[in-house]
Amino acid sequence: MLAHIITIGDELLIGQVVDTNSAFICQELNNHNIVVDEVVSVHDDRQQIVSALDNAMQCADLVLLTGGLGPTKDDITKLTLARYFGGELVENDEVRQHIFELYSSRPQVFNSLTATQWLVPQNAIILPNRVGSAPLMVWMRHVGKREVIVASMPGVPYEMEIAMREQVMPFVEAHRTLTNAIVHRHVMVYGIPESTLALQIAQWEAALPETMHLAYLPKDGIVRLRLSSYGEASAAQLDERVSVLLPLLGDAVVATEDKPLEVLVGEQLLRLHATVGSAESCTGGKIAALLSKHAGSSDFYKGSVVAYSNEVKMSVLGVEKTTLEEWGAVSEQTVIQMAQGARRVLGTDYAVATSGIAGPGGGTADKPVGTIWTAVATPEKVYTKLLHLGTLRDKNTDRTTVAVLVNLLRILQNK
């Protein structure tokens, strides 16, 4: 089954909004073994929408659209689709009823524009939108011998995600013809640059059969290797290849699954019934935000001190004035005291700490931009690591966050 995705909205094409919807939809389809052939973003423009649809209907079995369903004038997707499939907009009682219920506790948002939301294409199947007022619309059409499913969803990410999971995918599953499954295996590798890694595993890669495909996905110091089969190779065959790969990579392997780093860290902490906190200077709360990102994180994450200024490093974390004066804020000595201070002040078993020059300014000859000290304090000792990164601020803080979480993960994995 082949899918095309069409995301609609002027805001996407002037770069005001990053299109996260496509990635979410691709992921969902991938989980259902549906291959996405193409993603295209077009303006809120009738002709562009029609031409993208024409193109998609020619080759795809499933066409998913997002965006352009709001009540305001610039949103034209609903009418465009109604006419594309040869119809007009008509009032729909069920949708009206739903919108009344949705807004019953918020009468202030109820107005004549909301009312345009229960006008729906007469030729569409309407699926319920649990969290919003825009209708979910589905069409099924024969193109030659193929039956094509076209579904239109809101562009607001959380509405789209719920629509996709609760309505569109069940509908598609109920109507699709089963095809060959895609299977993936992942290996997360840290600390080896992509091209070095590729050479290190070149022989292994060259010996892969035609039915398997290897991709390198580098990000912030981690390279995720993804080995995929498109139906012809079995999961067991993939596992066999991975078992040959792992010894070639040794200690560089962080995980053999595709989970976010903070989830892997959380799993280890839960296994050990241990808690963690952070003391952050240059990362400015990024580690805290990751550790608290997922539901249930309060079982292992207690808190953090973002000690951006030297005063906070001293007053809250207990870093000694003489340490800062003698060695500077960006030093092994400081980052050790920060990590120890975090453990003590936050009352956790483990704590990580960061202090560095994130850039773009602030570097010296001794400590150029990208010089970043990290530490992991455990109940037994403090481990430190010095990073030499680049000059890009965001990149540096992201890479530091990954580096320190990888260090923590390895220490926890060995417990």
Site for its own copies in 231-260 (CB under 8 A): 258
Q: What angle do CA 171, 172, 173 make, to 5 degrees?
A: 90
Provide the minimum distance between the beta carbon of 225 and its own copies in the complex, in angstroms, as a whole number. Answer: 10
Interface with its own copies in residues 117-156 (CB under 8 A): 131, 133, 156
210/414 with CB nearer its own copies: 210
88/258 with CB nearer its own copies: 258
User: Which residues does 28 contact at the CB level (< 8 Å), separation at least 6?
Assistant: 164, 165, 169
Phi, psi of 89 (to 5 degrees): -90, 135
Per-position x/- string for 309-348, each x denoting binding to its own copies as judged by CB under 8 A, each - no binding: x-xx--xx----------------------------xxx-
Provide the minimum distance between the beta carbon of 302 and its own copies in the complex, in angstroms, as a whole number. Answer: 4
Q: How far apart are CA 98 and CA 136, in angstroms?
A: 12
Phi, psi of 143 (to 5 degrees): -125, 105
Among 85, 171, 204, 216, binds its own copies (CB under 8 A): 216
133/340 with CB nearer its own copies: 133
Provide the minimum distance between the beta carbon of 133 and its own copies in the complex, in angstroms, as a whole number. Answer: 8
173/413 with CB nearer its own copies: 173
Provide the minimum distance between the beta carbon of 123 and its own copies in the complex, in angstroms, as a whole number. Answer: 25
140/221 with CB nearer its own copies: 221
Interface with its own copies in residues 26-65 (CB under 8 A): 26-30, 35-44, 48, 52
Q: How far apart are CA 120 and CA 134, in angstroms?
A: 9
Q: Are 256 and 242 in contact (CB under 8 A)?
A: yes
Provide the minimum distance between the beta carbon of 19 and its own copies in the complex, in angstroms, as a whole number. Answer: 6
User: Would you state the structure tokens that stand for residue 289, as one six-digit string?
Assistant: 């935000």
Tell whether the torsion through CA atoms of 173, 30, 6 and 155 is positive or negative.
Answer: positive
Strand 182-190 to 125-127 pairing: unpaired
218 binds its own copies (CB under 8 A): yes
Tell whether the torsion through CA atoms of 374, 370, 261 and 201 is positive or negative.
Answer: negative
Interface with its own copies in residues 282-311 (CB under 8 A): 284-289, 291-298, 301-309, 311
Per-position x/- string for 173-192, each x denoting binding to its own copies as judged by CB under 8 A, each - no binding: -----------x--------
Among 58, 97, 100, 109, binds its own copies (CB under 8 A): 109
Interface with its own copies in residues 356-415 (CB under 8 A): 358-361, 390, 392-395
Q: Is the peptide bond between 379 and the residue preceding it cis, with omega within 30 degrees of 0? A: no
Provide the minimum distance between the beta carbon of 369 and its own copies in the complex, in angstroms, as a whole number. Answer: 10
The residue whose two tokens read 């078993």 is 349
Number of residues located near its own copies, criterion CB under 8 A: 108
Q: How far is CA 368 from the centre of its chain?
A: 32
Beta strands in 82-181 (DSSP E): 89-91, 119-121, 125-127, 136-143, 146-153
3-state secondary structure of 339: helix
Range 242-280 burial, b when 16+ CB lie within 10 A, else e: eeebeeebeeebbbeeeeebbebbbebbeeeebbbbbbb
Among 140, 199, 235, 386, binds its own copies (CB under 8 A): 199
273 binds its own copies (CB under 8 A): no
Interface with its own copies in residues 2-31 (CB under 8 A): 10-20, 22-30
The residue whose two tokens read 């992991």 is 376
